[in-house]
Structure 1
Amino acid sequence: MNVGCWRRIESLMAMSYFFIFFVFFTCTVADDSIVSRFQEYLKINTAHPSPNYHEAANFILSQAKSLSLETQTIEFVKNKPLILLKWSGKNPNLPSILLNSHTDVVPVEPHKWSHPPFEATIDQGNIYARGSQDMKCVGLQYLEAIRRLKASNFEPLRTIYISFVPDEEIGGHDGAEKFASSNIFDEMNVGIMLDEGLASPDDNYRLFYAERCPMWLVIKATGAPGHGAKLYDNTAMENLFKSIESVRRFRASQLDLVKAGVKSEGEVVSVNMVFLKAGTPSPTGFVMNLQPSEAQAGFDIRVPPVADQASLERRIAEEWAPASRNMTYEFKQKVSVYDKNGKPILTAHDGSNPWWALLEGAIHKANRKFGKPEIFPASTDARYFRLKGVPAIGFSPMANTPILLHDHNEFLNKEEYLKGIEVYEHILKAFASSHVETKKDEAIRDEL
């Protein structure tokens, strides 16, 4: 081979190396910008009891402006802004897609964190911040996926809405609940909505089709006060302890089902005692020689839609707090697992729900994996939309990640965060391009 040929080969190789370096450099810069935007959002302190909602809203609106999305700021309750963004589809008559996330986060104990919880510090590739998993990651991943789709000149067939709601961590009553019950939501004609899920310790993403509903129970026992040395029946404390022991046995039976692999955590009734209140206060603590006339305990109960809620309520009345033992009870919150027609509140995850198949296909196309459909073990804003008859899927693309929501040192690896954006890009493309007919599509067609 002559010298000219070698020179041409060397020139081509040099150009190839330059191209590879250019692509690598460009991707690195783009990824750094994506992560920086995530960090900026995480640094906004939206922890209860005083979430800085307006700063979060301004940040979201600035991102929407950069993406040329339509914006609407709604305050169902003063100083609790709900931000609604819109990417109009080519066929506005088709049911739309709603991507929901909440802007608030739970309180922190900063001295128990290895990194300040609102500085979004990156350490060995992990982004430490309150909200990194629950769920500021998802809200920004929606927007970054839309940014990529717009850059590729993708045009959605269906309209896409993105909602950033307040107060999820304290029940969602001034946020998602009022939103789902509003005329604004009705006019959006939502056919499918996505909300938060959970991290997965392995490489299978977790998909949730329902969730457990809260029954916050307070049991109260009463009895005659007595000397601390006296033994007699039906004291308030003894009666309450009998109830606590009964609750403990039930809790153990449910936990045994999970430990044995018979049921998943979301399929059993969870009961956890959250407070115990009794005793007669004194300047130095409590009166030690006086048995109190009242005692009460609080329990956080979560009921899956596959459980018999009526049977559980009978157990509470007859076994946990029977009137025959001078006991009463009340629910601080009780959410039914049934809709207005008496059917369990859940989203179909079989062939009857085309959205579920589209979601699974999109995840496969992104070269990711997912596990068996699950019931979310706690409660999310999705319940308010399922009550309206809207299919809702809980999904947070966080694989190979410890579950740290509400925990100290909450973090999300930046590579997992970036992978999640790619997954949402595939999901949104599949959903927004879909011609499949849902029940709402059929109803619209019949009207036309």
Structure 2
Amino acid sequence: MIEIQTLKYGKLIVFLLLCFCAGVWGRGPEDLEENPAVQRFRTYLRIRTVQPEPDYLSAINFLLGQAKEIGLSTRTFEFVPKKPILLTTWKGSSKEKLQSVILNSHMDVVPVEEEKWKYPPFDAEMDEDGNIFARGSQDMKVVGIMYLEAIRILKSKGWVPVRDVHVLWVPDEEVGGDDGWGKFSVSKEFEELNASIVLDEGSISSSGDKYIAINGEKNMWWLVITAKGETGHGSIYFENSAAENMFKSIASINAFRDSQMALVRAGEKSSEEVVSVNSVFLKSGLPTSDGFTMNIQPSVVEAGFDVRIPPSKEMAALMKKRVVEEWAPKNRNMSFYFTSQSETRDGEVPLTTADDSNPWWFLLRTAVSKFNATLTPRITGGATDSSFVRMHGVDAFGITAIQNVPSLLHNHNEYMNGYEFLKGINVVVEIIDRFGSFSGSRQSYQIQRSSM
């Protein structure tokens, strides 16, 4: 009897120890449910700012409330009707006219296929691991809310920046940004901010020992190729029909695409160093009420391609030559046009210097090093609002201070882990602290470095 009681007592101790350890080390969602920052994040995610009809008014009202609560001044602009821009400002303490810091965030998100989501994409449901499922949870509502939560923390400590820190909320990035940053970048309102550095969205790091900083973008071409030829009965062979010529071009494009992918697979080049070409549409045929006419050959075939080119004018010139001579040659009765192209300066897509000769890179690198992480520069294939910034000679880095989460930008079941979100806020606190405390200029910094 004594042995049995002892055994039961020992099991009870083990059980209690396990319960205690679970309380200390477990990552149940209860603590996240009660966290105000997480709840504010989820509230923002529930606002349906989804293209093509984003609810910007609700988003602006929510953000105005947050800015007032934190103690930031606000201004709104509307260069295009129903597409507002919100500027929230933390005034710097310096009497000198120091250039400002802009923390940029776009409000809109891409469309969803709701039936393919585990949870409704605008409910911000959180699972037992603390993963918050919502469109925009990665791209890029998480970044905007981390800015505000970081400023909330810094203000609670009594810290004040020496230079103005602006948090900017813009529309329409997901549809090219022309009515958002495109209009703002050429406005007197932007000029008056006298910005030296803009932080924007970046790439999530799948590991826990580094962060990625986007310092430039590939040259984006949205290319449409058109082939024309004779039309007639579906049983007749025509030389150089529109479909035949288009498929020749598609074969050439796919062969080039395979060659670029092979370089990456072999480790000879990174994905940033190669050209990406992906088919996005193929349009042809005579539609009927239930399909297409099957016995008429089309006289016109169109195909669209998303082309991203490393940012040099030499590479752009080579690709233009390839399009003219191989992909859409006139001698095959073909033509091409671009629905959109990246802006360039003297043929080059501008980049931001990503080494310690740039004080903003140095400050960014040293900020993340406090968290035992390195900073890796990257040229991204995606287009962001930073392209408008760099065209005006202002430095811009894209950084999403999130680790250990798979990148699901524009994907089904996009989610953000609540614990990684809270950790990321601390990283943003350090970045804003260092940026806002820097009282020098790029020129004075470089002079100081050269004298060392």
TM-score, normalised relative to structure 2: 0.88
The answer for the alignment partner of 1:5 in structure 2 is: none
1:368 Cα deviation from its structure 2 partner: 4.1
Evaluate the alpha carbon distance shift between residue 318 and residue 290 of structure 1 in structure 2; reply closer, same or farther with a 3 A threshold.
same
C-alpha distance in structure 1 between counterparts of 2:187 and 2:375, whole Å:
35
Which range moves more in the overlay, 309-318 or 286-295?
Answer: 286-295
Tell me the amino acid that sits aligned with residue 54 of structure 1.
Answer: L
C-alpha distance in structure 2 between counterparts of 1:179 and 1:441, whole Å:
29
Which range moves more in the overlay, 417-426 or 307-316?
Answer: 307-316
Matched, 1:281 2:287: yes
Evaluate the alpha carbon distance shift between residue 284 and residue 142 of structure 1 in structure 2; reply closer, same or farther with a 3 A threshold.
closer
Matched, 1:97 2:109: no
Residue correspondence of structure 1 range 284-433 to structure 2 within 5 A: 284-306=290-312, 308-336=315-343, 338-339=344-345, 341-365=346-370, 367-433=371-437
Q: Which of residues 73, 78, 94 in structure 2 aligns to 1:70?
A: 73
Matched, 1:45 2:56: no
C-alpha distance in structure 2 between counterparts of 1:76 and 1:344, whole Å:
26
Matched, 1:151 2:167: no
Deviating above 6 A after TM superposition, structure 1's stretches of 4 or more consecutive aligned residues are 440-443
Tell me the amino acid that sits aligned with residue 310 of structure 1.
Answer: A
Which range moves more in the overlay, 302-311 or 59-68?
Answer: 302-311
Evaluate the alpha carbon distance shift between residue 30 and residue 363 of structure 1 in structure 2; reply closer, same or farther with a 3 A threshold.
farther
Tell me the amino acid that sits aligned with residue 35 of structure 1.
Answer: V
Which range moves more in the overlay, 388-397 or 346-355?
Answer: 346-355
C-alpha distance in structure 1 between counterparts of 2:120 and 2:32, whole Å:
26
Tell me the amino acid that sits aligned with residue 442 of structure 2.
Answer: T
Count of aligned pairs:
415
The answer for the alignment partner of 1:189 in structure 2 is: 194
The answer for the alignment partner of 1:56 in structure 2 is: 59
- Answer whether contact 1:273 1:299 (CA < 8 A) is retained: yes
What secondary structure sits across from 1:405 in the alignment? coil
- Answer whether contact 1:273 1:298 (CA < 8 A) is retained: yes
Evaluate the alpha carbon distance shift between residue 135 and residue 424 of structure 1 in structure 2; reply closer, same or farther with a 3 A threshold.
same
Tell me the amino acid that sits aligned with residue 311 of structure 2.
Answer: P
- Answer whether contact 1:94 1:441 (CA < 8 A) is retained: no
Tell me the amino acid that sits aligned with residue 296 of structure 1.
Answer: E
- Answer whether contact 1:42 1:131 (CA < 8 A) is retained: yes
C-alpha distance in structure 2 between counterparts of 1:253 and 1:370, whole Å:
32
C-alpha distance in structure 2 between counterparts of 1:284 and 1:231, whole Å:
26
What secondary structure sits across from 2:79 in the alignment? coil
- Answer whether contact 1:207 1:370 (CA < 8 A) is retained: no
CA RMSD between the two structures: 2.0
C-alpha distance in structure 1 between counterparts of 2:34 and 2:159, whole Å:
21
What secondary structure sits across from 1:232 in the alignment? coil
Matched, 1:434 2:441: no
C-alpha distance in structure 2 between counterparts of 1:110 and 1:244, whole Å:
32
Q: Output one character per residue of 1:255-313: Cα deviation in whole Å (capped at 9) or x when no partner.
A: 11221222222322111111111122234422222221111111111122146112111
C-alpha distance in structure 1 between counterparts of 2:401 and 2:45, whole Å:
17
C-alpha distance in structure 2 between counterparts of 1:275 and 1:104, whole Å:
24
C-alpha distance in structure 1 between counterparts of 2:328 and 2:368, whole Å:
48
C-alpha distance in structure 1 between counterparts of 2:251 and 2:137, whole Å:
38
Which range moves more in the overlay, 201-210 or 128-137?
Answer: 201-210
Q: Which runs of 5+ in 2 are unaligned?
A: 1-23, 25-30, 448-452
1:29 Cα deviation from its structure 2 partner: 8.5
Tell me the amino acid that sits aligned with residue 66 of structure 1.
Answer: E
What secondary structure sits across from 2:83 in the alignment? coil
**Fraction of identical pairs, as percent:** 48
